[in-house]
């Protein structure tokens, strides 16, 4: 997928403010400071696509970016920021759970974790929600440039093992916003899922095994015209 345009659309504080055009959504999730904004900016190849909050942990907005006039990247508020009042935390939880539960446009999720740490307890909670709400997702291990390659190998194996119980996990991608490593792999995975989600003959939410069998049929070399649909 080539990203030709990215336009900020809305910073929604409740679900009534979400776009009503029905375009598919790719949602980006991670704890505060994990590198979510940097990843979004790297995907867009821009320095300042993702809005940066001056008070980290305080924003509860779902920031919508229209990509190629065809789909949305949704930047979810980061979680796990220590100095957040309990009622803010509870509000965040309710907003996100409602969003996952009710938003049929969610086609795919990108769960971002720190390559050095692997998934934290809160990350695991989010991953559990994604799986529960049947949202296909990819796990991105970011800041890979800060991790020695031998350590990254070991971490990949450990994370694969720990994630094997999730049905809706569609891959683990090491990534660096600094070097751009993983950018093409991530865009490819996103594109595949958007194509499947847009195909009305298929169910929107599909299990990993179902996805793989549908992909084998759909993404053959003869289908190369299809794969440029969102390019
Ligand atoms: N070395 C390195 N630093 C990163 C990477 N991604 C983010 N950072 C740094 O981590 C900090 C938090 O990044 P940011 O994108 O604002 O995180 P967010 O709070 O999740 O949006 C910043 O200082 C970034 O420069 C990466 O891939 N490699
Ligand atoms: Mg950010």
Average pLDDT score over residue span 156-174:
95
Atom index in ligand 1 nearest the CA of residue 112 equals: 20
Atom index in ligand 1 nearest the CA of residue 40 equals: 15
Tell which one of 32, 34, 35, 147 to mutate to probe ligand 1, the residue whose CB is within 8 A of the most ligand atoms: 35
pLDDT at 31 over 50: yes
Q: Which ligand is nearest to the CA of 29?
A: 1
pLDDT at 7 over 80: yes
pLDDT at 204 over 70: no
Lowest mean pLDDT among 25-34, 81-90, 114-123, 154-163: 81-90
Based on its alpha-carbon atoms, the radius of gyration of the chain, rounded to whole angstroms, reads: 17
pLDDT given at position 55 = 55
Mean pLDDT of the chain: 84
pLDDT at 202 over 80: no
Q: Is the C-beta atom of 59 inside 6 A of ligand 1?
A: no
Q: Is the C-beta atom of 177 inside 6 A of ligand 1?
A: yes
Q: Is the C-beta atom of 78 inside 6 A of ligand 1?
A: yes
Q: Is 49 exposed, middle or buried (0-12, 13-18, 19+ CB in 10 A)?
A: buried
Distance 37 CA to ligand 2 centre (A): 4
pLDDT at 4 over 50: yes
Distance 82 CA to ligand 1 centre (A): 17
Tell which one of 79, 177, 183 to mutate to probe ligand 1, the residue whose CB is within 8 A of the most ligand atoms: 177
Q: Which ligand is nearest to the CA of 35?
A: 1
Per-chain residues with Cβ under 5 A from ion ligand 2: 37
pLDDT at 1 over 70: yes
Distance 94 CA to ligand 2 centre (A): 20
Q: Which residue has the higher pLDDT, 202 or 223?
A: 202
Residue range 45-83, pLDDT digits in tens = 887 666 655 555 556 789 999 999 999 999 999 998 877
The span from the CA of 153 to the CA of 70, in Å, is 36
pLDDT given at position 210 = 56
Average pLDDT score over residue span 127-149:
95
pLDDT given at position 45 = 86
Q: What DSSP string runs through 148-198?
A: -HHHHHHHHHHHHHHHTT-TTEEEEEE--TTT-TTHHHHHHHHHHHHHHHH
Q: Helix, strand, coil % (nearest 5) of the chain?
A: 40, 20, 40
Q: Is the C-beta atom of 141 inside 6 A of ligand 1?
A: no
Look-up: residue for tokens 């994370």?
Answer: 159
Three-class SS state of 215: helix
Average pLDDT score over residue span 144-150:
94
Q: Is the C-beta atom of 32 inside 6 A of ligand 1?
A: yes
Cross-sheet strand order for the sheet of 71-75? 6-12, 62-67, 71-75, 25-29, 106-114, 137-142, 169-174
Structural domains in the chain, sorted by start: 6-228 (3.40.50.300)
pLDDT tier, 222 (very low <50, low <70, confident <90, very high otherwise): very low
The span from the CA of 184 to the CA of 20, in Å, is 30
Average pLDDT score over residue span 111-127:
96
């Amino acid at each position: 997928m080539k990203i030709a345009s990215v336009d900020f659309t809305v910073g929604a504080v409740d679900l009534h403010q979400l776009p009503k055009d029905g375009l598919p959504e790719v949602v980006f999730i991670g704890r505060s400071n994990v590198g979510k904004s940097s990843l979004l900016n790297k995907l867009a190849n821009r320095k300042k696509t993702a809005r940066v909050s001056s008070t980290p942990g305080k924003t509860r907005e779902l920031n919508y970016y229209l990509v190629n006039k065809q789909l949305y990247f949704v930047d979810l508020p980061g979680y796990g920021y220590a100095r957040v009042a309990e009622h803010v935390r509870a509000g965040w939880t309710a907003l996100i759970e409602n969003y996952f539960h009710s938003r049929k446009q969610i086609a795919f999720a990108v769960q971002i974790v720190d390559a050095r740490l692997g998934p934290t307890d809160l990350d695991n909670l989010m991953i559990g929600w994604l799986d529960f709400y049947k949202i296909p997702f990819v796990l991105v291990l970011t800041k890979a440039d800060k991790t020695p390659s031998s350590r990254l190998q070991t971490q990949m194996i450990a994370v694969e093992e720990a994630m094997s119980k999730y049905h809706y996990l569609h891959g683990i991608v090491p990534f660096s916003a600094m070097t751009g490593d993983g950018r093409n792999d991530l865009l490819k995975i996103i594109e595949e899922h958007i194509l499947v989600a847009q195909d009305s003959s298929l169910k929107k939410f599909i299990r990993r095994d179902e996805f793989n069998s549908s992909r084998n049929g759909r993404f053959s070399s003869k289908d190369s015209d299809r794969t440029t649909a969102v390019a």
